[in-house]
Structure 1
Amino acid sequence: MRDGLVVGRVSMVARYPVKSMAGDPVAELDLRWPGAHGDRQYAFVRCGNRSRFPWLTARDVPSLVLHRPSFRNPADPRHSAVDVVTPAGEHMPLDHPALAASLSEAAGTDVELIQVGRGIFDSMPVSLTTTAFLAAVDAAHTSPLDPRRFRMNIVIESEASDTAWHGGVLAFGEGDGGAKLLVNDAIPRCAMVTVDPDTAVRDPSVLRTVAGRFGNNIGSYCATLQCGLIRMGDRVRFFPAGPSV
């Protein structure tokens, strides 16, 4: 399989400027060593919290997913200012005191904004799945689920499940010069998937489906093997053994 097995094409790419806020669908992801450039670069944290998980997330404040952040200069997310549209339709800078005050009230504790240039990830920097796997989840749940619940960076239109690619490599685009990902392991899920991305209403049955039918795993964690762009429509090739790529 020197040239790899063609397994599909990229059908969705997104980055998440602020942890737990709405995603930013883009035409391409700039894959760098720490992950997708600009992904989860900001987060709100509980002031004084010294635990291993100080982040404010939609598990605690579901309305976080209704906040829509965007980079003023999308080409340079590390240095760009970020603006947010709140659930009430207000437009404000991400660092506006009124936003921190509103989230503090919702969280019941003071929160503050931080920026981490390499991204703020629970485990690994890139997440992906396939349309076939999402269809299997819909079928198991007996009703369609918005893919945004799972907050993927990449969705690949494919008849395969991403679980078949664990331990291998995905190459994007034509030739050998494009982005490559090491596909590592399944993503364990939490109550985040119960939050509707349009209403912030919780539906516990979603987590019951994920836990009961899929071992609580949806999607795959990945890491960068080769930097490059991942574009909508890119051909995706699979190599079963990383060292041979």
Structure 2
Amino acid sequence: MRRLIGVVAELNRFPVKSMAGEELAEAEVRWSGLRGDREYGFVKADSLRRFPWFTGRDHSALLRYRAASAGDYGSAGLPVEVATPDGRRLGVGDPALAKELAAAAGGPVQLIQLSRGTYDSMPVSLVTRATLAVIDAAHGASLDPRRFRINIVIDSAERDIEWRGRSIEFGLDGARLAVVRPIERCAMITIDPDTAGRDASVMRTVARQFGNEVGEYASVLRQGPVRIGDEVYLVDEAAAPVAITSELAR
């Protein structure tokens, strides 16, 4: 049994970890998430910490660098071009970009490419507009959804928390996801995606009124496309952890 719960309103891919991303009309969802999502990331080369990534938490202005695909996915992965805040366009592997980021980091940085994605936790993130509206109301002002860096935004009258532990499907031939657990938020949501200015009140709202959770993480149960305008269905079965593990192992 399937129940219609909404339609896909936005698709976002972030080719470089912590940089601004790109809006897509269609995304290919693989076992490792949206193809090309977070495929690249910069690490602090002299860091031995468990979290070596150079991110907006270190340098807010990193979010003003916009990463976008510069061609089709090929044997070398996703070709990516980065638009810098001052209007230049550089290939993601251009030494000039690494030099600029190293100056901001206060030490050397190194580009890493991982086909499975440089995720902190899980491969796909989703949220509903109903959830975003509740957060706006609690905050007393409209928050730019880009603060939450979500892959799939669903236009639904339901909050995504209602789907946790269940499966959802997209369209007639699309991907199937297991909605697994909430996304715990960090200081990244305090950063304005346009100006890189910080607003600590955003974190206070999310932490105090929503247990520091916005949106849901999902695992991939079936590969397939997701398109803007696709109908989204709640599948009448639980997203059992055993099923998730077996599918992801393929």
Measured against the shorter chain, the TM-score band is: over 0.9
Q: Which deviates more from structure 2 when the two are superposed, residues 190-199 or residues 43-52?
A: 43-52
Report what 1:54 is aligned to: 52
Report what 2:199 is aligned to: 203
Residues 232 and 24 of structure 1: is their aligned pair in 2 closer, same or farther, counting only changes over 3 Å?
same
1:183 equivalenced with 2:193 (yes/no): no
- How many angstroms does 1:43 deviate by? 0.2
Overall identity of the aligned pairs, in %? 48
Which ranges in structure 1 are unaligned for 5 or more consecutive residues? none
- How many angstroms does 1:163 deviate by? 0.3
Q: Encode CA deviations 1:148-202: one digit per residue, 9 max, x unaligned.
A: 000000000001000000000000002xx42100000100000000000000000
Q: Encode CA deviations 1:205-234: one digit per residue, 9 max, x unaligned.
A: 000001011000000000000000000000
Residues 100 and 212 of structure 1: is their aligned pair in 2 closer, same or farther, counting only changes over 3 Å?
same
- How many angstroms does 1:77 deviate by? 8.7
Determine which of 118, 121, 124 is the counterpart of 2:119.
121
Alpha-carbon separation, structure 2, partners of 1:139 and 1:179: 32
Determine which of 209, 215, 227 is the counterpart of 1:213.
209
Kindly provide the amino acid, as one letter, of the partner of residue 224 in structure 1.
Answer: V
Alpha-carbon separation, structure 2, partners of 1:152 and 1:15: 8
Judge conservation of contact 1:129–1:219 (CA < 8 Å) in 2: yes
Report what 1:88 is aligned to: 86
Alpha-carbon separation, structure 2, partners of 1:72 and 1:192: 26
Count of paired positions: 241
- How many angstroms does 1:236 deviate by? 0.4
Alpha-carbon separation, structure 2, partners of 1:145 and 1:243: 31
Two-structure CA RMSD over aligned residues (Å) = 1.6
Report what 2:246 is aligned to: none
Alpha-carbon separation, structure 1, partners of 2:119 and 2:59: 18
Residues 77 and 218 of structure 1: is their aligned pair in 2 closer, same or farther, counting only changes over 3 Å?
farther
Segments ≥4 residues shifted beyond 6 Å: none
Report what 1:23 is aligned to: 21
Alpha-carbon separation, structure 2, partners of 1:155 and 1:84: 24
Q: Encode CA deviations 1:41-62: one digit per residue, 9 max, x unaligned.
A: 0000000323221111101111
Judge conservation of contact 2:178–2:239 (CA < 8 Å) in 1: no
Question: Which aligned pairs between 1:134-153 and structure 2 lie closer than 5 A?
Answer: 134-153=132-151
Kindly provide the amino acid, as one letter, of the partner of residue 199 in structure 2.
Answer: D
Alpha-carbon separation, structure 1, partners of 2:176 and 2:157: 20
Judge conservation of contact 1:38–1:78 (CA < 8 Å) in 2: no
1:238 equivalenced with 2:234 (yes/no): yes
